[in-house]
Chains A and B, each alone.
Chain A
Amino acid sequence: MSFDVPDDCRYLDSHEWVRQADDAATIGISDFAQDELGDVVFVELPDEGAELTAGEEFGVVESIKAVSDIYAPVSGTVTAVNDALFDEPELVNDDPYGDGWLLEIELADDSELDDLLSPDEYREQIA
């Protein structure tokens, strides 16, 4: 089975992705991660204004069979939360890099992006 690994994202080895647009970034979990978890039924996310620290746990994604902590790929301040997931958590399965995004943040230090896995490195990890 092959998994979608978009070239415009960078990845954490715990399967979160981040996509940068200027000083802002969007965070989610990878196609591989959603497939491993199976049917997502619940997400727990921080509120707007919360501070994320790179490498630290910031929320939880639960599927029918498992509970999985999610880790911040980069540090920053939460500027938007994907509220649609509260009613439709399955969006994480259906469209992990699109409608299934988790948070938007204002980046604290965009050099942290360099510490993350490139798409090729992440492809190698999940191969």
Chain B
Amino acid sequence: MPAPGESSDMGLRAPPLDDVHAAAEASFTDFGGWEMPVEFDSIRTEHAAVREAAGKFDVSHMGEIVVSGTEATGLMQRLTTNDATDLRPGQAHYAAITREDGVMLDDTVVYRLPEPVEGEYLFIPNAGHDEQMATRWREYADERDLDASVDNRTTEYGLIALQGPDAPSLLAEETTLSLDELGRFEIATATVAGVETLVATTGYTGEAGYELVVPWDETETVWGALDCQPCGLGARDTLRLEMGFLLSGQDFDPEDDPRNPYEAGIGFVVDLDTEFVGRDALEGVDVEGPAEKLTGLSLIDRGVPRAGYDVTTPNGDRVGTVTSGTMSPTLGEPIALAYIDTDYIEPGRTVRVVVRGEPKKARIRTTPFLDR
């Protein structure tokens, strides 16, 4: 048996439900160093289940890092862009993690843990970033002698996302927690199918739903109790793209495509009234405005926009690049996210996306593509 988070082949880390997914005949992909299910039935079927009913995702490849100690708040404040002091126990918010020059290393949800859970904060870095972020937090705390401890629990917890309009009624059958009392972006302790669970009202699909943090070895119990469509990373990607949500490593990447939060369209998670690494650089961007911004596009001509395709004016002058694109299963139209010259962005404006050398007519759109 491989140890938690280790796979026997190819040196990839495997989620706790590896065998369950294999038995369900899922197809797998390497994502962030993890061997993850990409598709169970079909992306279209899984996507529709989440928009119309409910779906469950094994997202145990996401990191879980717990920060404790009397100066935990100060540490979170310094290393994330949002205002950590805003969070009361049981609350959560979205934030960026930036380096000194304002470039995003990752995006994350920060949870202030509810009583009586040990530790102050839980944050969820993207797949494969857990060790890097834990080290970043530890080093920062050590250098400044902060009373804060940092515990990377990525292979101690499984993470299941239950998403869709039927998610509340499905979860209600398996938990004693009064779900009506939880607002969006909150977190509470509960038992789910008899398993001690952190139930968070967060997600990556635009639908109602939950993210369930469970002990690694009991992930299967909770997964099995949720009676709905299993979904892979393929549907997770089309669902998030319809909402215009960022994918770390795809829509921004500190090495391959360095972007600050304003460029990436998440300036709303930057609180310049707080002191954090990257603040001064971002204050400059806030004043000047970013030269390029991530915006939505939809194709008018036939075709599918894909990452790396050029965006041009009708005359063929290059004004940007697509970072994510797909055929929207819900809307039945080709949609994309692209960095485009800020001066050129105007919703409704017609541009071209160059698909295999052919300029295809497209329109600049605001996101989300889908009203939710």
B43 close to A38 (CB less than 8 A): yes
A1-33 to B contact mask, C-beta < 8 Å, 1/0:
100000000000000000000000000000000
With A64-B43, A65-B234 known as contacts, the answer to whether A42 contacts B304 (CB < 8 A) is yes
B329 close to A65 (CB less than 8 A): no
| Contact residues in A for B38 (Cβ distance below 8 Å) | 65
B136 at the interface (CB under 8 A from A): no
Q: Which of B26-62 contact A (CB under 8 A)?
A: 38-39, 42-44
| Shortest Cβ distance from A63 into B: residue | B43
| Shortest Cβ distance from B42 into A: residue | A39
Q: Which of B218-236 contact A (CB under 8 A)?
A: 234
| Distance from B193 Cβ to chain A, minimum over Cβ atoms (Å) | 30
A35-68 to B contact mask, C-beta < 8 Å, 1/0:
0001101101000000000000000101111010
B238 at the interface (CB under 8 A from A): yes
With A65-B38, A65-B43 known as contacts, the answer to whether A41 contacts B327 (CB < 8 A) is yes
Give Cα A86–Cα B301 distance, bound, in whole angstroms: 12
A41 close to B302 (CB less than 8 A): no
| Contact residues in A for B334 (Cβ distance below 8 Å) | 42
Task: Report, nearest first, the 3 A-B pairs whose CB atoms are least far apart.
Answer: A41-B327, A39-B44, A64-B43
B327 close to A38 (CB less than 8 A): no
A64 close to B327 (CB less than 8 A): yes
B302 close to A42 (CB less than 8 A): yes
| Contact residues in B for A64 (Cβ distance below 8 Å) | 43-44, 234, 238, 326-327, 329
| Shortest Cβ distance from A41 into B: residue | B327
| Contact residues in A for B144 (Cβ distance below 8 Å) | none
Q: Tell me the number of A-to-B contacts counted with CB atoms below 8 Å.
A: 38
B25 close to A1 (CB less than 8 A): yes
| Contact residues in B for A86 (Cβ distance below 8 Å) | 302
Give Cα A60–Cα B355 distance, bound, in whole angstroms: 11
B203 at the interface (CB under 8 A from A): no
> Interface size of B by Cβ–Cβ distance < 8 Å?
18
B372 at the interface (CB under 8 A from A): no
A residues lining the B interface (CB < 8 Å): 1, 38-39, 41-42, 44, 60, 62-65, 67, 86, 93
B25 close to A62 (CB less than 8 A): no
B352 at the interface (CB under 8 A from A): no
| Contact residues in B for A38 (Cβ distance below 8 Å) | 39, 42-43, 234
B306 at the interface (CB under 8 A from A): yes
| Distance from A70 Cβ to chain B, minimum over Cβ atoms (Å) | 13
| Shortest Cβ distance from B327 into A: residue | A41
| Contact residues in B for A67 (Cβ distance below 8 Å) | 304, 306
Give Cα A66–Cα B69 distance, bound, in whole angstroms: 46
| Distance from B173 Cβ to chain A, minimum over Cβ atoms (Å) | 31
Task: Using A39-B42, A39-B329 as known contacts, list a sample of 9 further A-B pairs with CB atoms less than 8 Å apart, ordered by residue number in A.
Answer: A38-B43, A38-B234, A41-B304, A41-B327, A42-B304, A62-B304, A62-B327, A64-B44, A64-B238
Q: Which of A38, A63, A65, A67 has the most CB of B within 10 A?
A: A65
Question: What are 6 A-to-B residue pairs whose CB atoms are below 8 Å?
Answer: A38-B39, A41-B327, A42-B327, A42-B334, A64-B44, A65-B43
Give Cα A63–Cα B42 distance, bound, in whole angstroms: 11
B254 at the interface (CB under 8 A from A): no
| Contact residues in A for B39 (Cβ distance below 8 Å) | 38, 65
| Contact of B303 (CB < 8 Å), options: A39, A42, A65, A93 | A42
| Contact residues in A for B234 (Cβ distance below 8 Å) | 38, 64-65
| Contact residues in A for B326 (Cβ distance below 8 Å) | 64
| Shortest Cβ distance from A42 into B: residue | B304
| Distance from B324 Cβ to chain A, minimum over Cβ atoms (Å) | 12
B11-31 to A contact mask, C-beta < 8 Å, 1/0:
000000000000001000000
| Contact residues in A for B302 (Cβ distance below 8 Å) | 42, 86
A39 close to B304 (CB less than 8 A): no
Q: Which of B273-309 contact A (CB under 8 A)?
A: 302-304, 306
| Shortest Cβ distance from B306 into A: residue | A67
| Distance from B37 Cβ to chain A, minimum over Cβ atoms (Å) | 13
| Contact residues in B for A39 (Cβ distance below 8 Å) | 42-44, 329
| Contact residues in A for B42 (Cβ distance below 8 Å) | 38-39, 93
| Contact residues in B for A44 (Cβ distance below 8 Å) | 303, 356
